[in-house]
Amino acid sequence: MLIVMRNDASNEQIENIEKIIKDMGFTPHPMPGSQRTAICVLGNEKRVDSTPIEGQPGVIEIIHVSQPYKLVGREFRQNDSVVEIGPVKFGGGNDIAIIAGPCAVENREQIVSTAVFLAGNGTGMLRGGAFKPRTSPYAFQGLGKEGLELLAAAREASGLPFVTEVIDEMSLELCVEYADMLQIGARNMQNFSLLKMAGQTNKPVMLKRGMSATVKDLLMSAEYIMSEGNEKVVLCERGIRTFSDASRNTLDLCAIPFIKSQSHLPVIVDPSHAMGVWDMIIPIARAAVAAGADGLMVEVHPNPREARSDGPQSLTFDVYAKLVAEIKAIAAAMGKNIFELKK
């Protein structure tokens, strides 16, 4: 349920509604707006009896939210949310932001040289894994804290903020200290304890869709984060597992406009994990931008053949520059721009 207050409602009237909601056994979540305050009722699984609130001073409208995701849904917030990480913005505007970098941080030269190149070539954020959840226990698991220190050095050298993946409580605590944005990967999309912990931080969170997750599953996972008080969430479509063998995963382009119809959160697309091979990434990236994505996340490596993780789907510097040029053309045709870091 959503209670919309009058634009001249006093603080006392708003506090009165919050007290009534608490007395009903639920949690009030006020959302001050430019013109009026709305209060969302959290903690209910069924329709809430609005009788105690009807007619209360300052209340102009009561809206019964039909979707189980309340804070994430359009019924809660009509306007697109904008998530800001330093100078980069995701959602709500004309800029399309590209996140790029290697799958995993390997050494100082690799991550710093990549970051410096990306900063001058249409990139808004750096990506790089310090902690890597891998299918095989014998595969490279990342450098851990050393990887975070190298990402911080790359940020210093390039000016690019960075996003990196958290996989458990220990990695989350370290990443909160170093990173500009936390990534919760596909394998952890329904790790509800991790979602709650991320929601209790003040760091922006990128939430990737699980490999077998529906769009509703993704939105409900975002609800876990937002229900803990963190509204800075960016959703990422990265492909799902289907019977098709044409690509590593099947990229659900239909999810982009559908999510935007259901939620106010920004949506970006990761074509690297969807396709799994480098030469198929550019056309899919073009399609994602044309479908309305607010950004892209692409894997780039100075020498993909020597990459310790995801080399076959990583772009060389030359191919990445070609991707940016083509995305700029698609964006321009739609009246949008590619965000570029100002020097």
Over its length of 343 residues, how does the chain's per-residue pLDDT go in tens digits?
788 888 888 889 899 999 999 988 888 888 776 667 888 888 776 778 888 898 889 898 887 776 778 889 988 788 899 999 999 999 987 889 999 999 999 999 999 999 999 999 999 999 999 998 877 887 888 899 999 999 999 999 999 999 999 999 999 999 999 999 999 999 999 999 999 999 999 999 999 999 999 999 999 999 999 989 899 999 999 999 999 988 999 999 999 999 999 999 999 999 999 999 999 999 999 999 999 999 999 999 999 999 999 999 999 999 999 999 999 999 999 999 999 887 6
Residues with Cβ < 8 Å from 83, sequence gap 6 or more? Answer: 89, 90, 91, 204, 232, 233, 234, 265, 266
User: How do beta strands 59-63 and 95-101 pair?
Assistant: unpaired
Phi, psi at 117, each rounded to 5°: -60, -45
Highest CATH level, class, for 83-338: alpha beta
| CATH 3.20.20.70 domain extents, the chain | 83-338
| CATH 3.30.70.1140 domain extents, the chain | 2-63
Residues with Cβ < 8 Å from 84, sequence gap 6 or more? Answer: 90, 204, 232
Selection from 35, 62, 36 nearest residue 51 by Cα: 62
Superfamily of domain 2-63: Phospho-2-dehydro-3-deoxyheptonate aldolase; domain 1 (3.30.70.1140)
Dist. CA 84–CA 290, nearest whole Å: 22
